[in-house]
Every structure is written in structure tokens, then in C-alpha cells.
């Protein structure tokens, strides 16, 4: 996992992502990768790219996806509920998070706005 974190950190820095947002982006990507390994079949595919004024990360796995997701903008999961905090955290750390469940797996895509677009 250390190599993935270093790669994402390097891409975030080189893309021009604000220093204050880089750690949040790396943490969000780490959570996506961890979810793919833990719940999505043991592996996944990570794609980092620039799209206009955003740094985008998509993680795709071969798992069953997510069922019964709370709506974006809802609060954290109840204290007694197991799981769900990772997706809540991802939504708090990034500008957007999109989850697509498909017949062959799940893709979660997150975005971070680059500083040049924020001004």
C-alpha cells in the first residue's frame, strides 16, 4: 500500500493540487483501494487522470458493489453499524464521489478541484 500512496502523492503534487488538499486526496484514494481489496474481490484497478480543472481517481473492482448506500450529504453511519465510514470519509475529503455498481463490479470515482479552477 505504501507504493500506491507514494504514487498518488506524486501525481497529486505534479498535477498542481493544492498542498492542503494533497493529504486528503491520498487518504481518500487509499480508502478506495482498501475497499477494493477488502470487499471487491481482493484487487482492483486504479486510474488517475486530469479532467479539465479536476484531478480524478477511479477505482474499479470485481466485487458485488454497494447495496443500500446512504444518500450523498447524509451524516455518518450510526455508531453501532459496522462499516460505511470509509465512504463517508471519502465524501468529506473530496469534491465529489460517484459510485457505479455494474454487472461485473463496482467503480468509485472521486474528484479534487485544482487551485487554478478555484480562483
What would the pLDDT profile of 47-95 be if each residue is shown by its tens digit?
999 999 999 999 999 988 776 655 666 676 667 766 667 888 899 999 9
What is the end-to-end Cα distance of the chain in Å, rounded? 34
pLDDT value at residue 85: 77
Cα–Cα distance, 49 to 51 (Å, whole number): 6
Cα–Cα distance, 74 to 23 (Å, whole number): 23
Residue 63's CB is within 10 A of a number of other CB atoms, namely 20
Minimal CA–CA distance to 55: which of 17, 89, 28, 90? 17
The residue that leads in pLDDT, 81 or 113, is 113
The residue that leads in pLDDT, 46 or 104, is 46
For the whole model, what pTM was predicted?
0.86
- Beta bridge partners, 102, equal 105
Q: Residue 28: is its pLDDT beyond 90?
A: yes
Amino acid at each position: 500500500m505504501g507504493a500506491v500512496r507514494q504514487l498518488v502523492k506524486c501525481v497529486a503534487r505534479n498535477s498542481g493540487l493544492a498542498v492542503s488538499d494533497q493529504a486528503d486526496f491520498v487518504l481518500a484514494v487509499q480508502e478506495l483501494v482498501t475497499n477494493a481489496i477488502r470487499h471487491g474481490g481482493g484487487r482492483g484497478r486504479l486510474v488517475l487522470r486530469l479532467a479539465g480543472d479536476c484531478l480524478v481517481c477511479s477505482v474499479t473492482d470485481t466485487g458485488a458493489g454497494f447495496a443500500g448506500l446512504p444518500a450523498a450529504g447524509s451524516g455518518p453511519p450510526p455508531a453501532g453499524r459496522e462499516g460505511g465510514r470509509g465512504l463517508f470519509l471519502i465524501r468529506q475529503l473530496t469534491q465529489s464521489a460517484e459510485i457505479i455498481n455494474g454487472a461485473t463490479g463496482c467503480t468509485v470515482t472521486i474528484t479534487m478541484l485544482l487551485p487554478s479552477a478555484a480562483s
